[in-house]
Structure 1
Amino acid sequence: MRELAVVVGTRPEIIKMAPVIRAAEGRFDLHLVHTGQHYDPELSGTFFESLDLPTPDENLAIGSGTQAEQTGQALVGVESMLADRDPAAAIAQGDTNAVLSTALAAAKLPVAFGHVEAGLRSFDRTMPEEVNRVVSDHVADFSFAPTDQAVSHLESEGVTAGVFRTGNTVVDACREHAPLAAEHSTVRSDLGLAGEDYVVATIHRPSNTDDSDRLRAVVDTLDDADAPVVLPAHPRTRSVLDGMGYDPSGSLRLVDPLDYLDFLDLLANARVAVTDSGGIQEEASILEVPCLTVRPNTERPETVEAGVNELVGPETLAPRLEALLTDDAACAAMTGHPDLYGDGRAGERIVDVLAERV
């Protein structure tokens, strides 16, 4: 049986690659590699168990570090793995340093490389993720684009060979896991939120956490909201807030990172999501939860165009959050487009392409 190397490095990658891994079982001999970019067990390790995925065959344990350190260490590790095993193909998802390292290592050996979630663009080269996306797309043998717009972005850059519109595996993941979350999670009752309107928030991007004034303005707004706000704190965010001596005293509840199924249940039942995460913009649209994204741009523009997501700054977050918490019509207007990213069969389509062509 042909071998397929699957490389993941962060929590969102594990979630989004889960449908691909499941679809590939029995059709490929899987070799699962975790770069360890998310090294906290609460952010990655427990996800394999909660999603009923195989334990990684290798963990490169690169941990934290600069962009160059993470990319360089993962590049060395992935290159060594690919050279030793010579799989039929290697695939990675998204826009992290793990993806860039896999793309470069595969392209130079060469091993066929498949980029899952190809063609996303924020058009902001100050974002490390944007650089990772562009480079990975331009060396990929297979570009698995989630939307027509992603296909158009690739075409405008001259990438036309090996492009397949598959939908986004995040839809597969939400549809597969939301019923499990509803059945098994007790997170809302544990947090005393059962039957209440509440906000779920995630803030972790350096553009927000590295500017103390900006971060303080965001968390002050969340702490002054008209409903409870639950923020599972990324280690980066927690470290910065601790360094600021920030101690919320109002509506904001800082909690440790949650198990994926707990977070999915929390998000699915929230009145509003506030985030700077690309993946949560997608998940909120699928689960029909209005989303406010604390960023000046997004690589998920279809959510903004559909009216289910809005880009806000620290200065506009407060009035928009208040409106969504107090005005049912405004809240309802930001729902109703759960199918922006496909029909929940993206993982199957990706594996079908690989099975036919490698």
Structure 2
Amino acid sequence: MKILTVVGARPQFIKAAAVSNIIRKEHEEILVHTGQHYDENMSKVFFEELQIPKPDYNLGVGSGGHGKQTGKMLIELEEIYEKEKPDLILVYGDTNSTLAGALCGSKLLIPVAHVEAGLRSFNMNMPEEQNRILTDHISKLLFVPTVTAINNLKNEGISEGVHNVGDVMYDAVLHFKSLAVSKTSIIEKLNLKEGSYILTTIHRAENTNDINRLKNIIEALNESGKKIVLPLHPRTRKYMENYSLKFNNNINVIEPVGYLEMISLEMHSEKIVTDSGGVQKEAFFIKKPCVTMRDETEWVETVQNGWNVVVGTDKNKILDSILNFVPNQQQQNIFGDGHAAEKILDIINDDILNIK
């Protein structure tokens, strides 16, 4: 069987690392990198350290408006699909790369499998929410990470082809956590001690592109007085310069880091403050309290379990949570058993091979 996988952003590289090696034991995989994340620290390094096979195609799409970016992907992908004639299109998550990969497959009548299906924030202002919903409704196989995701799909009339396999990012964390221990050089380089700092990430457009939201976040971090380590996303840096916003001395701003260094920073932190969906889950997997600077989260289970608090961009709520939030219960096993990739392969074999 020939499976064509489309990736384009950091979380998708991590998920592909967990799944591609499993797929390639039995099938041919064509890997397409759209180039949605084109910064070397946010792209190339992930492929190298996670030992993801070199992409067969790199579209080099880069940044741009949603329509322009998605449209360029569709044009390029259509040519590749027609040339390669895959039996299945595999997409991950909720980016423009996800939607373009799925939509192109659907138009050409090639079955689409969506890993991390069924997530909902119920905020249609988010491009990611639009991408999730559209991709789910045109996919043949929907691999969901949680029971909540199954219920979300049922509420939209989707029940066929839905499989709860667990979370492939949990697979990745379990697999790479031991390798991340060897990346303690970043801890030594930054002169960090176990549990002595807050790890923070800010990248979501709804926060960076709005001066009031970004200002509230930065003021809360500055006023906390806590030692904060912040790998700064290029977009966040750009908007901070545009808005003339600055960090206080308690904020240690560093360049974006690779996956293993990020896991190492997470493992040694006291707490994690983020607006990233993937980092919320990683915090949960390694049992770190998480403060989410968004108005909602698609990972509601982490909140229900008491290990994540959603504070929006209210300065006082962010500040209070940085200083005072602690988990209020023991974690439950809600993201599977760490073998999602194997389950995905088994289902693909049963479903796609049986119709060929």
* TM-score in same-fold range (> 0.5): yes
User: In the aligned structure 2, how far is the partner of 1:184 from the partner of 1:250?
Assistant: 25
Q: Show structure 2 runs of 5+ residues with no match.
A: none
How do 1:306-321 and structure 2 match up within 5 A? 306-313=305-312, 314-315=314-315, 316-321=317-322
1:106 shift after superposition: 0.5
User: In the aligned structure 1, how far is the partner of 2:86 from the partner of 2:341?
Assistant: 19
Aligned to 1:353: 347
1:83 shift after superposition: 1.2
Matched, 1:333 2:328: yes
User: In the aligned structure 1, how far is the partner of 2:149 from the partner of 2:84?
Assistant: 32
Relative to structure 2, which stretch is displaced further, 238-247 or 298-307?
238-247
Letter of the structure 1 residue corresponding to residue 328 of structure 2? A
User: In the aligned structure 1, how far is the partner of 2:244 from the partner of 2:210?
Assistant: 15
**CA separation of 1:222 and 1:143: change in aligned 2, threshold 3 A:** same
Aligned to 1:127: 126
How do 1:1-358 and structure 2 match up within 5 A? 2-313=1-312, 314-315=314-315, 316-324=317-325, 331-333=326-328, 336-337=330-331, 339-358=333-352
Q: Show structure 1 runs of 5+ residues with no match.
A: 325-330
Letter of the structure 2 residue corresponding to residue 157 of structure 1? E
User: What's the secondary structure of 2:30's corresponding residue?
Assistant: strand
User: In the aligned structure 1, how far is the partner of 2:216 from the partner of 2:295?
Assistant: 15
Letter of the structure 1 residue corresponding to residue 343 of structure 2? R
User: In the aligned structure 1, how far is the partner of 2:164 from the partner of 2:59?
Assistant: 31
1:178 shift after superposition: 1.0
Relative to structure 2, which stretch is displaced further, 49-58 or 241-250?
241-250
Do the aligned residues in 1 keep the contact of 2:306 with 2:327 (CA within 8 Å)?
no
Q: CA RMSD in A?
A: 1.3
User: In the aligned structure 2, how far is the partner of 1:50 from the partner of 1:275?
Assistant: 23
User: What's the secondary structure of 1:333's corresponding residue?
Assistant: coil
Do the aligned residues in 2 keep the contact of 1:3 with 1:87 (CA within 8 Å)?
yes
User: What's the secondary structure of 2:224's corresponding residue?
Assistant: coil
Do the aligned residues in 1 keep the contact of 2:195 with 2:270 (CA within 8 Å)?
no
User: What's the secondary structure of 2:143's corresponding residue?
Assistant: strand
Letter of the structure 2 residue corresponding to residue 164 of structure 1? H
Relative to structure 2, which stretch is displaced further, 135-144 or 217-226?
217-226
Aligned to 1:327: none
Letter of the structure 2 residue corresponding to residue 46 of structure 1? V
1:47 shift after superposition: 0.6
Q: Deviations over 1:150-196 (max 9, x none)?
A: 01111111111111110010100100111100123311111111235
Give the number of aligned pairs: 350
1:270 shift after superposition: 1.1
Do the aligned residues in 2 keep the contact of 1:232 with 1:255 (CA within 8 Å)?
yes
1:207 shift after superposition: 1.3
Do the aligned residues in 2 keep the contact of 1:4 with 1:89 (CA within 8 Å)?
yes
Letter of the structure 1 residue corresponding to residue 243 of structure 2? M
Do the aligned residues in 2 keep the contact of 1:286 with 1:340 (CA within 8 Å)?
no
Do the aligned residues in 2 keep the contact of 1:224 with 1:252 (CA within 8 Å)?
no
User: What's the secondary structure of 1:33's corresponding residue?
Assistant: strand
User: In the aligned structure 1, how far is the partner of 2:178 from the partner of 2:202?
Assistant: 26
Do the aligned residues in 1 keep the contact of 2:194 with 2:270 (CA within 8 Å)?
no
Q: What is the TM-score with the length of structure 2 in the denominator? A: 0.95
Letter of the structure 2 residue corresponding to residue 323 of structure 1? N
**CA separation of 1:195 and 1:289: change in aligned 2, threshold 3 A:** closer
Do the aligned residues in 2 keep the contact of 1:293 with 1:309 (CA within 8 Å)?
yes
Relative to structure 2, which stretch is displaced further, 185-194 or 139-148?
185-194
User: In the aligned structure 1, how far is the partner of 2:295 from the partner of 2:182?
Assistant: 37
